Amino acid sequence: MEHNGFDQLPVVSSKNGRLVGLVTLGNLLSRIAARRVQVDAQVHDVMFKFQTSGHLYKEITDDTPLEDLTEFFEKNSAGVVTEKGGSKVKAVITKVDLVSFLVKKASV
């Protein structure tokens, strides 16, 4: 993750490719430091599971208004952009991405 510059990775179902969760570098490192996860653990052991935990998935698509995205980032550090219905993951977006976009747009 870190080698490629990613702090978050979407997790998709091997059965249908739908988004099922998110692995974050911060969560992974804190679990390792607290010895709550073994080196041979699988992704499902360390990911935020959208359907089985309190982590509700908010759909973000290419058509999501920036106002909604700004509101989303008041409570979240990263989001996953999908096709409508969550059928295919397109990108991971962070607060930094949003701020960078807004700065570039303002300078045009």
Would you kindly state where each structural domain of the chain is located, as residue ranges? 2-106
Residue range 53-103, pLDDT digits in tens: 555 667 889 999 999 999 999 988 788 888 887 678 888 888 888 889 889
Q: Residue 55 is which amino acid?
A: H
Q: Is 58 left (phi over 0), alpha (psi -120 to 50) or beta?
A: beta
Superfamily holding 2-106: CBS-domain (3.10.580.10)
Q: What are phi and psi of 60, to 5 degrees?
A: -125, 120
Angle (nearest 5°) at CA 67 between 85 and 11: 35
Give yes or no for residue 41 having a pLDDT over 70. yes
Distances (CA, A) of 69 to 49, 81, 91, 98, 102: 21, 11, 14, 8, 12
* Whole-number average pLDDT of the chain: 83
